[in-house]
Amino acid sequence: MGNLSDVTVLDPDAAERAARELLDTRVTAVRELATRRAELTRARDAVITAERADAAAWAAAERSGWTETDLRRVGFEPPATRAPGRPRRTPAIPADQSG
């Protein structure tokens, strides 16, 4: 073992400055990540809102008399999600007429 005179004595202020410099880089990275995640959340929310509006417009077009086939011929694909509401039902066949 070396003697005590070989031990370097750190200045507390210098040590703190060095530690803060190291932490500042890490904090900057976390701040950037938080900023990008917030942007991503806003973008996802905007997509959800746009998809709902698109689905509502599709439903309105169908209510006005357009069929899915007509809309496809014009160049529209059906929306990925349908507008909220009651699902369409096909009429049930009475049990005595089922054949």
In this predicted model, which residue has the larger pLDDT, 9 or 19?
Answer: 19
- Is residue 38 classed as helix, strand or coil in its secondary structure? helix
pLDDT at residue 98 above 60? Answer: no
Say how far apart CA 44 and CA 42 lie, in whole Å: 5
Reference 74, options 63, 62, 56; nearest CA is: 62
Domain boundaries, the chain: 11-83
Judge whether residue 4 has pLDDT over 60.
no
Task: Say how many CA atoms lie within 13 Å of 13 toward its Cβ.
Answer: 0
Report how far residue 85's alpha carbon sits from residue 87's, in angstroms, rounded to the nearest whole number.
Answer: 6
Residue 9 binned pLDDT confidence (cut-offs 50, 70, 90): confident
Structure tokens at 8: 């370097």
What is the pTM assigned to this prediction? 0.61
Query: What is the tens place of the pLDDT at every residue in 33-84?
Result: 999 999 999 999 999 999 999 999 999 999 999 999 999 999 999 998 887 7
DSSP state of 62: H
